[in-house]
């Protein structure tokens, strides 16, 4: 629910480091620890410090399976 996500400002030179991309996998590290979500077709957004982002770079790995695993 992208319309419920809080807004954050970030400098242009840091956007690429924190920008969410299609098929990024996010894990909660506070609150609901371990809860994961596969990001699909995100709007322009970045991930917050209470999340861990994983990018699977091996195209042979099924990203949906990885998110459930």
- Percent of the chain surpassing pLDDT 90: 22
Please give the residue that has the higher pLDDT: either 3 or 25.
Answer: 25
pLDDT of residue 1: 66
pLDDT of residue 20: 92
In terms of C-beta density within 10 A (0-12 exposed, 13-18 middle, 19 or more buried), how is residue 11 classed?
exposed
Note whether 18 and 25 are within 8 A (CB): no
Please give the residue that has the higher pLDDT: either 7 or 27.
Answer: 27
Note whether 52 and 26 are within 8 A (CB): yes
């Amino acid at each position: 629910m992208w319309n419920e996500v809080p807004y954050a400002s970030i400098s242009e030179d840091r956007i690429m480091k924190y920008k969410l991309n299609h098929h990024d996998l996010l894990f909660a590290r506070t609150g609901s620890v371990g809860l994961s979500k596969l990001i699909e077709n995100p709007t322009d957004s970045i991930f917050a410090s209470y999340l861990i982002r994983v990018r699977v770079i091996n195209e042979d790995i099924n990203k949906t399976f990885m998110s459930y695993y």
